[in-house]
């Protein structure tokens, strides 16, 4: 069976909830993440599309602090998809997310953008409705998909990543890192 490899990068400001989203999806843990990410963390996760195709996601959780911005550009280069995260309760986080989206559109045209409002559990219904209207409008303007998540409750975490693979399933024109042949055989390799 062949698997399709996709490079997925998480971008956003410090405190936007990228690491919590990453940890919830990869390890199904919801522990508090008080320490900021330095550089980037990497993990792989396999998902199956609705048609039965296997996708191997190479996930990059990047640092959000501005001093790492130039280094983060190395991680999103060649990405199949970018999840641009912002804290639903922070205007500053939203402004930084818009900046990342503009940069991605200018420098990585083939990269599909997914806008992710995090910390949904912290908003009341009225706040959520106001925020959703504004962000949905912006997402449509830049041809991005928008989803709200809560790493605390797990709401929409799996759905976000399922949307990504279904998008590649339905529109394979995006960047695919590699097709990976899965044989089930354990091949021993020797150096030199």
The verdict on residue 186 lying in a domain is no
- The angle at the Cα of 49, spanning 44 to 52, to the nearest 5 degrees, equals 110
Nearest to 176 by CA among 11, 51, 62, 57: 57
Using the structure block, give the residue that is written with the tokens 């818009």. 98
pLDDT tens, residue order, the chain (192 aa)? 689 999 999 999 888 999 999 999 999 987 565 655 656 789 999 999 999 999 999 999 987 556 455 565 676 889 999 999 999 989 999 999 999 999 999 999 899 999 999 999 988 877 777 778 889 999 999 999 999 999 999 999 999 999 999 999 998 765 555 555 454 554 455 554
The verdict on residue 171 lying in a domain is yes
Pairing of strands 81-87, 112-118: parallel
The verdict on residue 189 lying in a domain is no
Using the structure block, give the residue that is written with the tokens 């709200």. 148
The verdict on residue 191 lying in a domain is no
- Residue 167, domain CATH: 3.40.50.300
Query: What is the number of helices (H) and of strands (E) in the chain?
Result: 5, 7
CB 89 within 8 A of CB 132: no
The verdict on residue 72 lying in a domain is yes
pLDDT, one tens digit per residue, over 117-151 is 999 998 887 777 777 888 999 999 999 999 999 99
State the total domains in the chain: 1
* Per-residue tokens: 132: 């959703």
State residue 40's pLDDT score: 73
Domain that residue 135 falls in: 2-181
The verdict on residue 135 lying in a domain is yes
């Amino acid at each position: 069976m062949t698997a399709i490899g996709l490079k997925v990068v998480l971008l956003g400001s410090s405190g936007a909830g990228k690491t919590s989203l990453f940890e919830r999806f990869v390890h199904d843990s919801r522990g508090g993440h008080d320490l900021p990410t330095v550089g980037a963390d990497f993990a792989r996760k396999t998902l199956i599309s609705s048609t039965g195709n296997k996708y191997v996601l190479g996930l990059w959780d990047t640092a959000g602090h501005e001093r790492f911005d130039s280094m983060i550009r190395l991680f999103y280069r060649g990405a199949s998809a970018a999840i641009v995260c912002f804290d639903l309760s922070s205007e500053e986080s939203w402004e930084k997310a818009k900046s990342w989206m503009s940069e991605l559109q200018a420098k990585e045209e083939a990269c599909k953008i997914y806008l992710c409002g995090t910390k949904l559990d912290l908003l009341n219904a009225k706040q959520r409705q106001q925020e959703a209207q504004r962000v949905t409008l912006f997402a449509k303007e830049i041809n991005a998909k928008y989803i709200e998540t809560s790493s605390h409750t797990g709401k929409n975490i799996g759905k976000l990543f399922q949307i990504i693979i279904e998008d590649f399933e339905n529109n394979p024109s995006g960047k695919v890192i590699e097709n990976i042949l899965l044989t089930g055989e354990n091949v021993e390799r020797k150096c030199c």
